[in-house]
Structure 1
């Protein structure tokens, strides 16, 4: 059921995805879907939680530290290139979430804050490990890395043959790290 909802939200966005279509594709009635999820907004939340749980499970129990975490981000992007539906879901819903009263707005606000925090923490660790200069603007660098990754996802979705997300992400991170080592 969550897989079907994920595909539908990814293809149509939250506003245009209907519970009727999701229910029909899952072989249920709308009442059946609502029995399990109580509302379309709750269904969306469960889909987003499933996406996060999958990504966290892929990371394993120990997050890489310092620049190793940035290399992990490149691996994540490479893996995302094999999961178009998940990437589309994230891109569509994150863009939609900037609208008033969108049910996923708080989720994406928190998600971006968490991503920036993870990247900033890794860059702070890299400073402490002597991998990069101590005077690094970790917040600015973290914002830039997250923005590049998201922007590349949108470009890749629109023209997958023209954009190699992993190579481009690696290029930007290597350029940033090279600048920070100087």
Structure 2
């Protein structure tokens, strides 16, 4: 943030700061719309600036470059998903996953952004390649540990490998979301619920 957006102690006013924060958030909101339609590489700072009503130079007053702006869009997306999942102390991994799927079905822009950019990030040269590889790996490790605890508590069937199940849960979520983005008649919530019930519920028939 530039010095023009900081509150002045001498004036005792937060007006410029509040205005700067509002403009910064407007840039992030429009960047989400652009990146969710065209991806990172196709997203133009000039188009984002035009949608906000500032010059490209004015946009760069708030964000150093496209990478920094994109990182902030993803950060806010992650915050929204964490909020939708709820407190891990109050919800099981399966309940959290269901809540995220339901949230994503009401947030097409964020869901589209994640689908497009995760595909783009398979390119080793993509600025988010390392981040996306790490986020899938870390989340799989966390999910596997939660599934192990679920097995110990009798909440998750014992005949699955937690490491495999953690990856499959993520893969199914991503796959269903992609189908929904292509055809909104696809209802993600019951599809995902059927998968987790049949695959993870201890009461489900044993796997062959």
**What is the TM-score normalised by the length of structure 2?**
0.79
Which structure dedicates a bigger proportion of its chain to helix? 1
Indicate which of 65, 70, 91 corresponds to 1:44.
70
Greater relative contact order (Cα 8 A, min sep 6): structure 1 or 2? 1
Indicate which of 109, 117, 127 corresponds to 1:93.
117
- Distance apart, 1:133 and its partner CA: 4.3
The answer as to whether partners of 1:37 and 1:43 remain within 8 angstroms in 2 is yes
Unaligned segments of structure 2, at least 5 residues = 1-26
CA RMSD of aligned residues (A): 1.9
- Per-residue displacement from partner, 1:82-137 (whole Å, max 9, x unpaired)? 10000000000000011131111122112212321232122111112122344531
Identify the residue that residue 3 of structure 2 maps to in structure 1.
none
The answer as to whether partners of 2:88 and 2:96 remain within 8 angstroms in 1 is no
Higher Cα Rg: structure 1 or 2? 2
Moved more, 130-139 or 19-28: 130-139
Identify the residue that residue 84 of structure 1 maps to in structure 2.
108
Unaligned segments of structure 1, at least 5 residues = none
Count residues in correspondence. Answer: 179
- Distance apart, 1:71 and its partner CA: 2.1
Partners of 2:64 and 2:113 in 1: CA distance = 21
Q: Is 1:165 matched with 2:191?
A: no
Partners of 2:68 and 2:79 in 1: CA distance = 16
Identify the residue that residue 51 of structure 2 maps to in structure 1.
25
